[in-house]
Each structure stands twice: as structure tokens, then as C-alpha cells.
Amino acid sequence: MKSFNLRQVRLRPGEEFRDEIELELEPFELGGERYLPVPAAVPAELAITKATTGTVLQLKFATRLHGPCYRCLGDAVLEVAIDAREYQATNPQESDELRTPYLEDDNLNLAAWARDAVALALPDKILCRTDCAGLCPVCGKNLNDEPHVHEEQETDSRWAALEGLREQL
């Protein structure tokens, strides 16, 4: 399900509508890398609560993302649990804080809401494991598989004068 029409739910203030839906998640790009939700369709719980001043929307689901590790570019798998809430005021006037961007003409865009909720729940860096060592900056080998160090490279003779100044300081 990619969208939900709120007109099919008629609620009075204080009433709540809950439904189990199958939410279709789309792959998305983060930092130039593509991450795939597996499976693409996940069970989700949609709750709509009518308040006297507006409507409270809640979406709960869990997903698993597959994509590259930020440090070593190996396969990374991340479990993400989502509990997102939005509010739509009955009369929002000019205030953007009182309206949700996912609701237009009583049509709730579940795909966009789920995508944004997943993006907000992600850590700063998606890693294959917490102690990922990354790639060697000199030779490019994966330091998780082959931990190693390189001997210091000889400095260019043209920098010798500056090296002498550094030793004087």
C-alpha cells in the first residue's frame, strides 16, 4: 500500500481507527549509496485518532536494510524499527507546523512518510559491524580481512628545507 484515503474512515473526536496494512518500501539513496529494504513489503500498523483540533496519525513497522558499509564498502545489514507520528490540524491556517506534508486532499502518502521515517531513524554511518576498520588509505585493502601497516615513505627532498625549520621549532 502506497497511500491511504482518509475519507474511508469517519471518526468523531476521541475515536481511533487501527488497521494492519502491508507497506511497500522503495529503495533509497543515502550519501550516494543505494540501500534496499528486504523484504520490499512489510507489515505495518496504521492508527488514526481524531482529536477535537485535528487528526493524529501513527505508523509503526520494522524493516531490514541492505547496502554498503560506510567504511569498508562491504555488505551491511541494519535493522530499523519505526514509530512515526504526524499531526494534521482541522484549521491549520498559515502554520506549517500544524499540517503534515504527507496528507493532500485527504490522501495520506504512506510511501513518502515511510521513506522519510526510515531515513530519520538511520545512524550517521551505516557499518557492517561496530568495530569496522575500513580500507587502508595507502593500498586500499580491507583492514578487517588483512590488518597491516605500511613503512613510512621517504619524504621528497624538495621538502628538506621545511623539515629543517620544523626541527628548529
pLDDT tens-digit readout, 122-158: 998 899 999 999 999 888 999 999 898 888 767 778 8
Beta strand ranges found along the chain (DSSP E): 3-5, 16-24, 28-30, 33-37, 41-50, 54-68, 75-89, 103-104, 107-109
Ranges of H-type helices in the chain: 110-121, 160-168
- The tens-digit pLDDT sequence of the chain (169 residues) is 788 988 888 888 899 999 999 999 999 888 888 999 999 999 999 999 999 889 999 999 999 999 999 999 999 999 999 999 999 988 877 677 788 999 988 899 999 999 999 999 999 889 999 999 999 988 899 999 989 888 876 777 888 888 888 888 7
Residue 158 confidence (pLDDT): 85
The pLDDT value recorded for residue 166 is: 83
pLDDT confidence of residue 9: 87
Q: Cα 59–60–62 angle (5° rounding)?
A: 135
Q: Cβ distance 79 to 62 under 8 Å?
A: yes
Length of the chain: 169
Q: Which residue has the cell 539513496?
A: 29
At 8 the pLDDT is 87
d(CA 75, CA 33): 12
Half-sphere exposure of 47 (CA within 13 A, CB side): 14
Q: How many CA atoms lie within 13 A of 50 on its CB side?
A: 11
